[in-house]
Amino acid sequence: MNRVRMYINGNFVESGGKAWLPVYDPSTEEVIAEVPDSIAADVDLAVKAARAAFDQGAWPQTTPQDRGRLLFKLADVIRRQSAQLAELESRNTGKPIVEAEFDVTDTATCFEYYGGIATKIMGYVNPVPDNALSLSLREPVGVAGQIIPWNYPLLMAAWKLAPALAAGCTCVLKPAEQTPLTILELAGSFQEIGFPPGVINIVTGFGDTAGAPIVAHPDVDKVAFTGSAAVGKLILRSAADSIKRVALELGGKSPNIFFADSDFEAAVDGALFGVFINQGEVCSAGSRILVERSIYSKFVDAMVEKTRTIKLGPPLSRDTKMGPLVSKEQYERVRSYQEIGKGEARLVAGGGRLQSADRGYYVEPTIFADVNNNHRIAREEVFGPVAAVIPFEGETEAIRIANDTPYGLAAAVWSRDIFRALRVVKAVRAGIVWVNHMQPTYVEAPWGGYKQSGFGRELGPWGIEEYLETKQVHINLSEQPIGWY
Ligand code: ADP
Ligand code: MG
């Protein structure tokens, strides 16, 4: 068996508990590797290493220029190994190879961006009224605990590691149990690039046994989490005990709103891309498709027609547009929502397992029409290729339905009327809003949610704020006695 060890304090190690967990290829359902099934004692070793690298200065005392250069080197390694990393990512997640290649490029870009930011973290001179110099210094938060999901494994690791390292934090990162392979592959280069031991630690394992101890650990200063809302709530509760700083990027049920005056072809394409990209395993998936009544039936018909042409197949095949879901658990979850949807609304496309696949976690891209926003398929995050199409009448109703959700991660609006589009942009309560597009995002722009989609912003200059403390320094310039007593 291909046993891949985890990375703690500069070494590839097994779990102290000696157990291993299987990692699958979801297109064949076969085990392709095993990684350590970590326990709290492993987490403790990783946190101790990160703590020592932070407290004994190995990392925060490197210069910002040196930290930046290391991040650039890491980006170079990723670009050099991109073909191999993309293939591994595609094999382990089931995502089409072409999408995995985009992810790997974005991963390198993210490290480059924060490599540049490392030398641009600046404090302030505070304009105080006394004869004093008052400064605000920006300092790293300390040890960052980072827990990430399985939908974009390498990219999500970069979104968390890059700003933390640029800020001068040390990291204990736990990949999702389903998809630990690409970040461990990359970890093979950390030492050679020049990261001191303990600066980056990758701990593999399950959420309750390896994730929860990171959140509960008293020596972890901050937790950043991307994943389900249910686990986000657990993390927030647990972090209360040690008053940890927390950033949460949770799920969504994002509205993709189509007005009758939008470019019809582009709109239909945007509706499908918005919800089916990456098999729909996207936190910002446009899974509620709101369509103005006057174009509604034509729009649904066109979606159905075009969905028939989406090519499902093996992830590594270059013409595949949709691969299998990541795991058996996710497959069963999505299948159950397909059944729930059948009892609530009108099934117009898909609705089951991909019949032609004799193995692998393939489900058909599925569309429900005439969905009511109160239906479960309109309220609960499916995290798979299941679209809920909801008709509306006019702008006011579109906005009301769009905002009638506990989530607030993303939204999109399609219209050629710039006034209307911008009114909707302002009215929608979501952290990311697209106009005449959905899904593309850039390392330069903020990412994060409103409402129960979490708090905190990743990427851009906002991303680094999450890993910085602010220290006030007051320097008395008066040589007179203070004269109070
Ligand atoms: P999913 O439902 O798709 O598995 P999760 O939110 O459970 O999504 O998983 C996202 C990440 O959170 C994974 O790395 C997982 O191991 C981790 N995780 C799950 N449960 C916990 C927990 N109780 N504490 C900390 N991390 C957890
Ligand atoms: Mg889980």
Complete domains list, the chain, with CATH: 6-250+453-472 (3.40.605.10), 255-435 (3.40.309.10)
> Which atom of ligand 1 lies at the shortest distance from residue 206's CA?
16
In the prediction, which pLDDT does 484 show? 83
**Do residues 363 and 352 lie in contact, with contact meaning Cβ atoms separated by under 8 Å?**
yes
**Do residues 46 and 145 lie in contact, with contact meaning Cβ atoms separated by under 8 Å?**
no
Q: Is 211 close to ligand 1, i.e. is its CB under 6 Å away?
A: yes
Ligand 1, atom 19: nearest CA belongs to which residue? Answer: 207
In the prediction, which pLDDT does 119 show? 98
Q: For residue 408, which phi and psi values (nearest 5 degrees)? A: -160, 45
> Which atom of ligand 1 lies at the shortest distance from residue 330's CA?
3
Across the range 159-170, mean pLDDT stands at 98
Cβ neighbours of residue 226 closer than 8 Å, sequence gap 6 or more: 147, 148, 149, 156, 159, 160, 248, 249, 250, 283
Q: Is 215 close to ligand 1, i.e. is its CB under 6 Å away?
A: yes
Q: How far apart are CA 352 and CA 364, in angstroms?
A: 6
Q: Report CA(42)–ligand 2 centroid distance (Å).
A: 20
Quick one: pLDDT band at residue 90, thresholds 50, 70, 90? very high
Ramachandran area for residue 406 (φ above 0: left; ψ -120 to 50: alpha; else beta): alpha
What per-residue string of b and e applies to 54-85 under the rule 16 or more CB within 10 Å gives b? beeebbbebeeeebbbbbbbbbebbbebbeeb
Name the percent of the chain lying above pLDDT 70: 100
Q: Which of 38, 147, 220, 244 to mutate to test the pocket of ligand 1 (most atoms within 8 A of CB)?
A: 147
Q: Report CA(476)–ligand 2 centroid distance (Å).
A: 53
User: Between helices 64-80 and 82-93, what is the axis angle to 10°?
Assistant: 70
Q: Is 231 close to ligand 1, i.e. is its CB under 6 Å away?
A: yes
Cβ neighbours of residue 157 closer than 8 Å, sequence gap 6 or more: 107, 146, 148, 173, 175, 182, 183, 186
Q: Is 234 close to ligand 1, i.e. is its CB under 6 Å away?
A: yes
Q: Report CA(246)–ligand 1 centroid distance (Å).
A: 15
Quick one: pLDDT band at residue 1, thresholds 50, 70, 90? confident
| Residue 135 host element (H or E) | strand 132-140
Q: HSE, CB side, 13 Å, CA atoms: give it for residue 103.
A: 29
Q: Is 145 close to ligand 1, i.e. is its CB under 6 Å away?
A: no
Q: Which ligand is nearest to the CA of 251?
A: 1
In the prediction, which pLDDT does 57 show? 79
Q: Report CA(247)–ligand 2 centroid distance (Å).
A: 18
Q: Is 177 close to ligand 1, i.e. is its CB under 6 Å away?
A: yes
Q: How far is CA 33 from CA 2, 116, 157, 451, in A?
A: 5, 36, 20, 38
Give me 183's structure tokens. Answer: 């970040």
Ligand 1, atom 15: nearest CA belongs to which residue? Answer: 207
> What is the end-to-end Cα distance of the chain in Å, rounded?
75
Q: Is 147 close to ligand 1, i.e. is its CB under 6 Å away?
A: yes
Length of the chain: 485
Q: HSE, CB side, 13 Å, CA atoms: give it for residue 12.
A: 13
Per-residue pLDDT tens over the stretch 53-75: 999 978 888 999 999 999 999 99
**Do residues 361 and 26 lie in contact, with contact meaning Cβ atoms separated by under 8 Å?**
yes
What is the gyration radius of the CA atoms in the chain, in angstroms? 24
Quick one: pLDDT band at residue 140, thresholds 50, 70, 90? very high
Catalytic residues: 249, 283
